Amino acid sequence: MARVISRSTFLKLLALAPLQVMSRSARAAQTFSLYTPNPNQNTPAKDLQATAEKIDKDTDGNVKIRVLLGGSLQIQASDISMAVSQGIIEFGDDQLYGGLVPIGGVTRLPALLRNYSEYEAAARIIEPNVQAAYKKLNVSLLATFNFPRVIFFSRAKLTSLSDLNGLKIRTYSPEGSEAVKRFGAVPVTMALPQIAPALERGIIDGLIASAPAAYVYRDLVKYIYVLPVIVAANDFVIVNNASLEKLDSSQQEIVRRTFKDVMSGTSKRMADEELDLIQKMKGAGITVTEPTTEDRTQFESRLSPYWDDWAREKGPEAVEVLKAIRTAIGR
């Protein structure tokens, strides 16, 4: 039998309803941290901030995400996957994911992909594998974006492959390190905030990077050698699953949708910047050299045996994924 309540009881409950809604809203309010290894307000950092602001607005202030730049936390770029997995930070811009998500590195195999269309085909192939790898870490993939061509920037003369011999080049992945080692250079790994002082002091002679990432070092380099080590460098925006589940379903959907929507344009924005930035650096007196056909051919031929070696070292999954990519792009 349905319970009948008195009019006075009904009015009391009605009066309490707004307070109960407010209480639930207050409990739902969450503040999270997102860490990016980018030490300055480049395009990805700006887009991550724009994403956070839109989420704040669309959730009526109940989901706030603080975007923290590289160097503001004692977390190395290579440790972001683990930091998000352990809930030390809730969100991360995962650039150096190779330790825990090695399959993502297949698109960073030097000279494997010849153009951006091939990169997009490879990215589609690896996405399910990347998602599965993150799932094992209690992490979800929210968005993927990429920096444009990774090329050479140097304070020492660098206008051909032969000039690499003996130079100390900052790299950010085992794949990039292999690329410079095969031409006599010495790969050096260091955190992004350390690059500028290392260039100033001669600890490194140069670095491989995309133009949007390297533009901050424009006063410290004298040469740009436009030989793509890779045609695009992918980043993964990730979230700790337990943290995401603190939100109600509508808030979770807003977070997922907003990261995907905003960050989907990041790659194009940086691609549009690339040639303009290179021209600006050239106009400022930096020597810009396009590789000869001979150098391009030599670069690919010397590195192609490494592709299969890399895959065998990573395991059967990597072997299958590399095979699928090579079939898709006709290599």
The confidence score (pLDDT) of residue 58 equals 98
Strands 223-230 and 206-209 come out as unpaired
pLDDT digits (tens, 9 = 90+) for 273-323: 999 999 999 999 999 999 999 999 999 999 999 999 999 999 999 999 999
Q: State the DSSP H helix or E strand holding residue 25, giving kind and residue range, or none if neither.
A: helix 7-28
Domain boundaries, the chain: 29-304+315-329
Contact 161, 181 (CB under 8 A): no
pLDDT digits (tens, 9 = 90+) for 112-130: 999 999 999 999 999 999 9
Mean pLDDT, residues 160-174 taken together: 96
The confidence score (pLDDT) of residue 26 equals 44
The CATH class of 29-304+315-329 is alpha beta
Tell whether the model's pLDDT for residue 234 goes beyond 70: yes
In 73-210, where does DSSP find H-type helix? 80-85, 116-135, 174-181, 195-201
Mean pLDDT, residues 16-31 taken together: 55
Name the residue among 186, 112, 145 with its Cα closest to residue 36: 145
